[in-house]
Amino acid sequence: METELSIAVLHNEINWLQEVISQVIRSYLLQEGHEKNWQDILPPDISASESPYALKVLEWQPGVFGRIALALAIAPHLRPEALDVFFGKNQLYDRGFTEFGGVVDKNHSGFLPTAQTLYFLLTAVNPELRPEVMKLLSKENVLIRDEVIQLSEVDQNLPPLNAMLTMSSYWFEYFITGVHPPEESNPAFPAQRITTGLEWEDVVLDDNVMEQVEEIQAWLQHSSTLMNEWGLKKMLKPGYRALFYGPPGTGKTLTATLLGKMSGRDVYRIDLSMIVSKYIGETEKNLARVFAIARNKHWILFFDEADALFGKRTTTNSSNDRHANQQTAYLLQLIEDYPGVVILASNLNANIDDAFTRRFQSMIHFAMPSAEERLQLWTNAFSGTCTLHPDIDLRKIAEDHQLSGGSIINVLRTCALTAVRTSDPVVTQKNLLAGIRKEFRKENKTLIISS
């Protein structure tokens, strides 16, 4: 029943669009009734509707022009015949009207609107609206920013208004069912959800780091109060941006994951290898897709090994350099406009471009753990079924071997595998040192055993 209501609301939007199209064409071609103004045809009243489309339109407030763009993009999905009027021929040239725009795909017999189609509808009899159309099609517009309507890539030699105007299947399904499809579960989606079974008491961080992490916790818990009730949105950019830097295995990913667990938000790690594309424009498209979905689902975004895309910008000696710098600038804008939490992780903060570091609310150094912290990590790791032999001096192990928390967990895994093979859950000094030696080899270090 709810789905039927949702579809009915969309059909009403298309009915209105058809009336607008008919009136614009009549006025443009000076046919009977041309003296009427299409802007006098009011859109359907959706103020009392509970349909997903109505609720989103009321939230976005796209205006009449935005609703025409939405209806135009929805029509091929729901009622493609509504746009058949654009197949009308120009009698003078015995061909279609160029100014109508649109394309016909070999796999689709109907009329597929382009940006030119929208441009024609809004400006054919109202040329003064041209700036409004450009504003509607810009990345600052909520419908474009959140990828509700999308503009296809256009060959650089063609007019930009040739871009096909489409409704993303992600949003169309939502308007029908009220449920966002799990696009993020698609293997091709460049972000994956990360979780943990650990709790804050399982993390060993020094007091200074924990104090800064608690500031992010406070933002997650109270940002709405600060921005809205305290009026700080007049002075502050939305969202919170943090840089976690330090050697691998020091708790950067785990901390980000626990921040999500504490706040009830999903944490998604961005796979930069899937984001960065050799094709011009594809990186921006992939990034926009991630941020658009994240914005609506209130994700915490975690960019691991962030230097790959957020590193120091190069001098513009070539077109590739200029393109890389454009990607960095575009990403910076996305991050600044994102109303949620974005965490970038890097091994060295010196690798990150200064243009980014100035915009971080916090820069947290995850250093290698001290001897006391390593002792706590060893104790936590071997507090389960897999236990250490009583003869092992754990304090000495912690003092003698500088390992990160991640490496200590790897040693636990190695020892647990040995224990399960031998059916003996007690880890000997020999087995423990073998696990430590294995970790040292990864970093081309030699295990030195003091007497």
Task: Burial-class residue 357 by CB neighbours within 10 Å (0-12, 13-18, 19+).
Answer: middle
pLDDT at residue 309, as a whole number: 65
| Three-state DSSP class for residue 386 | coil
Distance (Å, whole) CA 188 – CA 308? 19
Q: E strands within 341-408?
A: 341-346, 362-365, 387-388
pLDDT at residue 95, as a whole number: 84
pLDDT at residue 3, as a whole number: 87
pLDDT at residue 105, as a whole number: 79
164, 113 Cβ separation under 8 angstroms: yes
For residue 353, CA distances in Å to 122, 238, 350 come to 42, 21, 8
For residue 84, CA distances in Å to 87, 102, 240, 265, 447 come to 6, 11, 47, 45, 76
In the chain (451 residues long), the average pLDDT of successive 10-residue segments reads 88 97 95 94 95 95 96 96 91 86 84 96 94 91 89 86 90 90 68 89 90 94 87 83 91 95 93 65 74 88 79 56 65 85 84 72 92 93 86 92 92 92 91 91 73 52
Token pair, residue 71, equals 């209806």
| Three-state DSSP class for residue 270 | strand
> pTM higher than 0.75, yes or no?
no
Dihedrals φ, ψ of 303, to 5°? Answer: -100, 100
pLDDT at residue 350, as a whole number: 67
pLDDT at residue 202, as a whole number: 84
Residue type, 442: K
Distance (Å, whole) CA 351 – CA 336? 20
Find the largest Cα–Cα distance for the chain: 102
pLDDT at residue 450, as a whole number: 59
| Three-state DSSP class for residue 114 | strand
| Three-state DSSP class for residue 265 | coil
Residue type, 110: G
Token pair, residue 119, equals 């441009």
Token pair, residue 57, equals 């339109």
pLDDT at residue 256, as a whole number: 96
Closest-CA residue to 376 (of 204, 258, 200): 204
pLDDT at residue 310, as a whole number: 65
